[in-house]
Amino acid sequence: MPVRSETSPAADPVPVRNAATIIAIRDPAGPAPSVLMGQRGKAAAFMPDKFVFPGGAVDPGDAEVPLSAPLPATCAAALTDRAPAGLADALAAAAIRELWEEAGLALGRPGHWPDPPPDWRDFARLGLRPSAESLRFVFRAITPPGRSRRFDARFFLTDAAQLAGDPDDFSRASDELSALQWVPLSEARRFNLPFITEVVLAEVAAALPSLAPPKTVPFFRNDDEESLFLRLGGRAL
């Protein structure tokens, strides 16, 4: 049964922006898998002081980024369910870019990139082109009405073993996230987490040790009139 939103559509003029979040997981088949997280600043306009995964809004140029390897077909198909056509590659590029900007970690293949967009120039200097082949689309959620910012966020999972370079080297990270660290899954709920992050962590933990693309993807949809928990490609729960 639908759950009604507490905020009326007329009272919420905040636009919903497409966004991508990346969950890098270390030692997914081992006894103590961990995920990369960092803390947002106390003065941040969105989710202040919370521990989150690297992520952010899709930039206009993300659709033009030449991926060296595409998303798995299953993930690309799920991303186009209840979404505009042609958005899948932009979301994948945004996830990789946010991981690079916020954590200084690169997901790519060796390759020459002669004219990268400004946001990608430091990435390209590593001799890499972004690769989406290890990304797994595992969750989608829309920020509820009434928040200062709203996002239609897609969550991607990737094995940290696919990262280029040292996964503990955050020296190239921006200052958007502090306290960057690999958090053991068994300890993650002790941190100050957003509700949706807790939900996503539970989904990831339940799927391990497999990193295969899921057959259906959970979608927590908060629109202006009601909230629904859906499965992309499935039915409302």
DSSP string, 112-152: --SS--GGGHHHHTTTEEEB-TT-EEEEEEEPPTTSSSEEE
Under DSSP, is residue 94 helix (H, G, I), strand (E, B) or coil?
Answer: helix
Nearest Cα to 155, choosing from 213, 223, 86? Answer: 213
User: Which DSSP letter does residue 15 get?
Assistant: P
Q: What pLDDT is recorded for position 11?
A: 54
pLDDT value of residue 57: 95
Nearest Cα residue to 19 out of 177, 160, 141: 141
What kind and span of H or E run contains 98?
Answer: helix 88-103
What residues does 110 pair with on adjacent strands? 128
What structural domains does the chain harbor? 21-232 (3.90.79.10)
* CA 155 – CA 157 distance, rounded (Å): 7
Tokens found for residue 161? 């073993």
Neighbours of 174 (CB within 10 A): 10
Residue that the structure tokens 């939900």 belong to: 199
Per-residue tens of pLDDT for the chain, all 237 residues: 333 333 334 456 889 999 999 999 999 999 999 999 999 987 776 777 899 999 999 998 899 999 999 999 999 999 998 888 789 999 999 999 999 999 999 999 999 898 898 889 999 999 999 999 999 999 999 988 888 889 999 999 999 999 999 999 999 999 999 999 999 999 999 999 999 999 999 999 999 999 999 889 999 887 766 677 788 864 333
CB atoms within 10 A of CB 82: 13
* pTM across the whole model: 0.89
Phi-psi region of 49 (alpha: psi -120 to 50; beta: other; left: phi over 0): left
Phi and psi of 131, rounded to 5°? -125, 130
Q: Helices H, strands E: what count in the chain? A: 4, 12
Residue 170 has a CB neighbour count (10 Å cut-off) of 16
Is-contact 178 37, C-beta < 8 A?
Answer: no
- Give me the residue label for tokens 């990369």: 36
